[in-house]
Amino acid sequence: MSTLRGRGTVRGLPEWDRCAVMGVVNVTPDSFSDGGHWFDTTAAIKHGLELVAEGADLIDVGGESTRPGASRVDEAEELRRVIPVVRGLASEGVTVSVDTMRAGVAEQAVAAGAVLVNDVSGGLADPGMIPVVADAGVPFVVMHWRGFSESMNSRAVYGDVVGEVVAELTKRMEAVIEGGVDPEKLVIDPGLGFAKDAAQDLALVAHLDRLRDLGRPLLVAASRKRFLGHVLAGGGAAPPPARERDAATAAVSALSAAAGAWAVRVHAVRPTADAVRVARAVEGAA
């Protein structure tokens, strides 16, 4: 079983004895699942601290919505949203990750205390990203990505989704390492919902072992995503709204932890914090 090989460690980050919980703070007016709630700096910092109190091990701060169809925010606005929240949380001792596709935002976020750069484009959106991450010497999440949100649904075309995601992630990992990022600082992510339909997302969750075979710690970010709405809707009914998908999210968190994921990224921390602790207890009893 993959957990026997361990979930891997990321040089430069704390080590947890179970799948870690990454809580999400989206400082955006329009993210698909929690847009608008934490748009103000003070509210966003308070929310991040609440997520830590609920059991989050690290907090991912983002200022640009990546929901399908979203148009891009400009850099000045992204900086305005993200940097004070990163600084506020880091100054409280929180392990902070920055969710950005922009080198300039990553650079300033690291200066403000972020210790992980989470780029949903895996360095493809901004040619400056890899040099900035390499220079800063911070860990980097390489997510599987095929293009910006505006057009990503039309790119969800695969013959073998698991094989193609593994192959494309392998190429990105090679490019990122070639660009000077320490291989021991890489985290990989299948990019659920990014240029993938519900069946493709489920196939990836079913084959997390194939992603673990890439040899780097694995981050799984299923929280509130469309494929869960699709599963819950069943035969033809309307999917429940994003906020009613947290129990389903926790189910994926337990499955991911059991499959050896290094971390799961979620909006509602408490149910997932419970799920990964149960998974750890079961693992310990095996």
Residues that bind ligand PMM (CB under 6 A): 24, 26, 31-33, 65-67, 99, 118, 120, 141, 143, 189, 191-192, 219, 221, 223, 265
Tell me, yes or no, if 225 is annotated catalytic: yes
Tell me, yes or no, if 265 is annotated catalytic: yes
Q: How far is the CB of 24 from ligand PMM (least distance, A)?
A: 5
Residues 114 and 63: their CA atoms lie apart, in Å, by 14
Closer CB to ligand PMM, residue 186 or residue 221? Answer: 221
Residue nearest ligand PMM (C-beta atom): 221
Angstrom distances, CA of residue 31 to CA of 26, 37, 53, 66 = 7, 9, 23, 7
Q: How far is the CB of 264 from ligand PMM (least distance, A)?
A: 10
Closer CB to ligand PMM, residue 91 or residue 171? Answer: 171
Closer CB to ligand PMM, residue 1 or residue 199? Answer: 199
Q: Which of 18, 81, 265, 270 is catalytic?
A: 265
Angle separating helix axes 226-233 and 198-206, nearest 10 degrees: 100
Q: Which of 146, 196, 225, 270 is catalytic?
A: 225
Closer CB to ligand PMM, residue 57 or residue 99? Answer: 99
Closer CB to ligand PMM, residue 33 or residue 200? Answer: 33
HEC string for the chain: CHHHHCCCCCCCCCCCCCCEEEEEEECCCCCCCCCCCCCCHHHHHHHHHHHHHCCCCEEEEECCCCCCCCCCCCHHHHHHHHHHHHHHHHHCCCCEEEECCCHHHHHHHHHCCCCEEEECCCCCCCCCHHHHHHHHCCCEEEECCCCCHHHHHHHCCCCCHHHHHHHHHHHHHHHHHHCCCCHHHEEEECCCCCCCCHHHHHHHHHCHHHHHCCCCCEEECCCCCHHHHHHHHCCCCCCCCHHHCHHHHHHHHHHHHHCCCCEEEECCHHHHHHHHHHHHHHHHHC
Closer CB to ligand PMM, residue 168 or residue 286? Answer: 168
Q: How many CB atoms lie within 10 A of CB 126?
A: 18
Would you name the residues annotated as active-site residues?
225, 265
